[in-house]
Amino acid sequence: MVSMTLSIEKGMRKRMKMHPQIKWSEVARSAIRQQLDDIEEAERIASGSRLTEKDIREIAGRVDRKMLKHFEGLAHEARG
């Protein structure tokens, strides 16, 4: 296995020390593994796609606008 050094903010390191029962290197390995799996899955899906970058930006914009409208509606309902 290869060793890797990470930079951690002082506050985060202090919080981590409060939980010595946690194997933080395993947490980091798991997060890296999950990120790689997600990227590879997205690449696998995209490799069969005929969408252009412009198409993707347009779809993302539509999703963003619909989500904004949805959450604005929820906020309005919460205010009563």
Statement: the pTM of the whole predicted model exceeds 0.85: no
Mean pLDDT of the 50-65 span: 90
Confidence class for position 3, pLDDT limits 50, 70, 90: very high
Residue 53: enclosing H or E segment and its boundaries? Answer: helix 53-79
In this predicted model, which residue has the larger pLDDT, 5 or 45? Answer: 5
Nearest residue to 24 (alpha-carbon basis) of 34, 12, 35:
12
Mean pLDDT of the 19-29 span: 96
- The distance from CA 62 to its chain's CA centroid, rounded to whole angstroms, is 20
